[in-house]
């Protein structure tokens, strides 16, 4: 297929939440506001806006600093984990409050030989309201993924750990293996399988997370 720019292109699947005033936010987080401080008028030639948002709003990458006082900020993290071969794993049938080792087909996952793993827990992403009952991921799953050489784990849930977690076991398993995290992905309609992932955090100095525009590209067979 020929794209608008004339080159060959493969289909891009946007797996990012739209960011607006109705984007569901972690309880207590400040409202997401895009404001306009200059408007096109007789005296101004352009529209210019500003955004105020929590760093864990919508689809985002946690920086190591989020769960490690000595960890890197979004500006410091290497980008390699956020671009490249990934596998989308369907764990919608998972019945418990967290994705457990028994919910994953490990032989299929190992055969995919993908260093990035995205977990689809939702039948349909809860765009309309915050879902306090999102499915977490067990620390044992994180350790098994790390053992397979996985460098990034992503989820369509709001966090790897339950909303009321005090221990953050999955995040700490990620820290122990120096993996990276994507949260709040939108995987509705995305078939399980291998894709190319692109989801780059912004170089925000001192930040514990960054919004990302996450996309999958189909890999030509
Ligand atoms: N905003 C928060 C306020 C308090 C505690 C956690 C959060 C989070 O955003 C959690 C998150 N998305 C995570 O990285 O697991
Ligand atoms: Zn987060
Ligand atoms: Zn997190």
d(CA 191, CA 86): 13
The domain locations on the chain are: 14-218
CA distance 141 to 105: 11
Q: How many CB atoms lie within 10 A of CB 50?
A: 10
The residue to mutate among 28, 159, 173, having the most atoms of ligand 1 within 8 angstroms of its beta carbon, is 159
Distance CA 134, CA 146 (A): 23
Catalytic residue among 9, 52, 66, 127: 66
Could you tell me the distance, in angstroms and rounded to a whole number, from the CA of residue 79 to the centre of ligand 1?
Answer: 22
Dist. CA 2–CA 202, nearest whole Å? 30
Task: Tell me the three state secondary structure of residue 30.
Answer: coil
Query: Which residue has the CA at smallest separation from atom 2 of ligand 1?
Result: 26
Full pLDDT tens readout for the chain, 221 residues = 555 665 567 899 999 999 999 999 999 999 999 999 999 999 999 999 999 999 999 999 999 999 999 999 999 999 999 999 999 999 999 889 999 999 999 999 999 999 999 999 999 999 999 999 999 999 999 999 999 999 999 999 999 999 999 999 999 999 999 999 999 999 999 999 999 999 999 999 999 999 999 999 999 76
Question: What's domain 14-218's superfamily in CATH?
Answer: Putative cyclase (3.50.30.50)
Residue whose CB lies within 8 A of the most ligand 1 atoms, among 23, 29, 53, 56, for a mutation test:
56
Q: Is 190 exposed, middle or buried (0-12, 13-18, 19+ CB in 10 A)?
A: middle
| Global pTM exceeds 0.90 | yes
36 is catalytic: no
């Amino acid at each position: 297929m020929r794209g608008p720019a004339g080159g060959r292109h493969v289909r891009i699947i946007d797996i990012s939440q739209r960011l607006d005033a109705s984007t569901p936010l972690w309880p207590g987080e400040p409202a997401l506001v895009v404001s306009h401080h200059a408007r096109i008028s007789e005296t101004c030639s352009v529209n210019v806006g500003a955004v105020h948002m929590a760093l864990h709003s919508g689809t985002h990458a946690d920086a190591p600093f989020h769960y490690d006082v000595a960890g890197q900020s979004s500006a410091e993290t290497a980008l390699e984990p956020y671009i490249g071969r990934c596998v989308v794993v369907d764990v919608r049938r998972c019945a418990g409050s967290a994705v457990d080792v028994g919910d994953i087909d490990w032989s299929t996952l190992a055969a995919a030989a993908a260093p990035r793993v995205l977990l689809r827990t939702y039948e349909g992403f809860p765009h309309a309201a915050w879902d306090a009952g999102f499915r977490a991921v067990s620390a044992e799953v994180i350790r098994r993924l790390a053992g397979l050489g996985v460098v990034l784990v992503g989820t369509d849930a709001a966090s790897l750990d339950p909303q009321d977690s005090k221990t953050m076991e999955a995040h700490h398993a990620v820290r122990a293996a120096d993996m990276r995290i994507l949260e709040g992905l939108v995987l509705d309609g995305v078939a399980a399988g291998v894709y190319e992932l692109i989801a780059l955090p912004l170089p925000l100095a001192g930040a514990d997370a960054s919004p990302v525009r996450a996309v999958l590209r189909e890999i030509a067979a």
